[in-house]
Amino acid sequence: MFSIFNKKPKIQLDLSVVGTDMHSHLLPGIDDGSPDVETSLQLIAGLQDLGYRKFITTPHILWDMYKNDAVSIGAAHSELQQALQQNNSDVPIRAAAEYFLDEHFDELLETNTPLLTIHENWVLVEFSFVTTPLNFKEKLFNMQMKGYQPILAHPERYLYFMSDKRWYDELKDAGCYFQLNILSLTGYYGKASLQLAQYLLNKRYINLLGTDCHHFRHLNTLRAAKNIMEPVLSLLDSGQLLNPTL
C-alpha cells in the first residue's frame, strides 16, 4: 500500500518538535487536496515520517469552487477515520476548515453559523493570491466581534504585500495570528515568498506553522528539504510557536 515510500531518501527534517500540523488538505475528495482515501493514508504516513504526531486538517471552504460545510467535511473525516482504523493507525486527526474571505463567509458570520475551528475559537482564513481583498480588515474585525480569533493562512504568499509591508503591521496590531507554510522556507513557492517568510520570522510575527500539504509534490519537497530546521527551532525557542499547545 505504501510502496511509494519504499525507496526513501534520508530525511533531514524532524518536525516532531512542532508536533501538530494544523494546516493541510488530507480529507479525501472534497477540495484540491487528496483525491481519495488511499492517497490520504499515504500522505499521512509520509507526514508522520517527518515527525508529525497529530493533524488538524483544513479543507477549503471557497464557495465559487468548494462548497464545503460541516456536513461534507464531517462525512469525509469519518471516511478517513474509518480507513485509518482499518489500517491499525491511531494517529489523531481532526477536521477544521480554511475559509476564503468571500461573500459566503460574510453570510456565515451574519447568520451566526458556527465556524469550524482549529482550537477553541481559532479560525483559519485566507486571502486571494491575486489581488488585495476588499475590506479584509473589516471582515477580520467582524470575526473578532463574533468571538473568533483569526489566523491568517500563509501571509508570506500574498505577494501584493511585498511593496507595502505595513499591512502586516496593521494585521498584527489588530490581533491576527499568522500561520507560515513550512514549504515557503524551501523556496517551493518562489523567491519572493521565501523573502517574505524570512521577513515575518525576523519580525517575530509567526504564531503557527503548517505544511499546507495537498499532494505528493508537497510531501516530497519536505522530505528533501535541507537547512530549514534552524528557523523552525528558532521560532520554537522564541516561545511564540503555538503548535505544541494544540
What cell does 216 get? 505528493
Lowest-confidence region among 9-13, 82-86, 125-129, 240-244: 9-13
Summarize the confidence of residues 5-19 as an average pLDDT: 76
**pLDDT average, residue stretch 69-98:** 98
For the segment 202-216, the average pLDDT, to the nearest whole number, is 98
- Best CATH choice for the domain 15-245 from the list 3.30.360.10, 3.20.20.140, 3.10.105.10, 3.20.20.70: 3.20.20.140
Confidence (pLDDT) at 18 = 98
Question: Which pLDDT band holds residue 9 (cuts at 50, 70, 90)?
Answer: low
Give the model's confidence band at 48: pLDDT under 50 very low, under 70 low, under 90 confident, else very high. Answer: very high
Mean pLDDT calculated for residue range 178-202: 98
Distances (CA, A) of 125 to 69, 143, 171, 186, 195: 14, 10, 13, 23, 22
pLDDT at residue 36 above 60?
A: yes
Please say if the pLDDT value at position 236 is more than 60. Answer: yes
CB atoms near residue 238 (< 10 Å) = 11
Mean pLDDT of the chain: 95
- What confidence score (pLDDT) does residue 4 get? 47
Cα 246 to Cα 32, 53, 115, 235: the distances in Å are 25, 11, 18, 16
**pLDDT digits 0-9 by tens, 52-77:** 999 999 999 999 999 999 999 999 99
Here the contacts of 105-114 (C-beta below 8 Å, separation 24 or greater) are: 105/61, 105/63, 105/139, 106/139, 106/142, 109/142, 109/143, 109/146, 112/146, 114/70
Please name the residue that has the C-alpha cell 515575518.
200
Over residues 40-59, mean pLDDT: 98
pTM: 0.94
Q: Which residues contact 221 (CB under 8 A, 6 or more apart)?
A: 183, 186, 188
Residue 6: predicted pLDDT: 47
Sign (positive or negative) of CA dihedral 84, 27, 243, 150: negative
pLDDT at 158: 98
Place 2 in a pLDDT band, splitting at 50, 70 and 90: very low
pLDDT for 80: 99
Q: Check residue 223 and give left, alpha or beta (phi > 0: left; psi -120 to 50: alpha).
A: alpha
Over range 203-228, report the average pLDDT.
97
Domain ranges of the chain: 15-245
Q: Which pLDDT score is estimated for 3?
A: 47
| Tens digits of residue pLDDT in 132-165 | 888 999 999 999 999 999 999 999 999 999 999 9
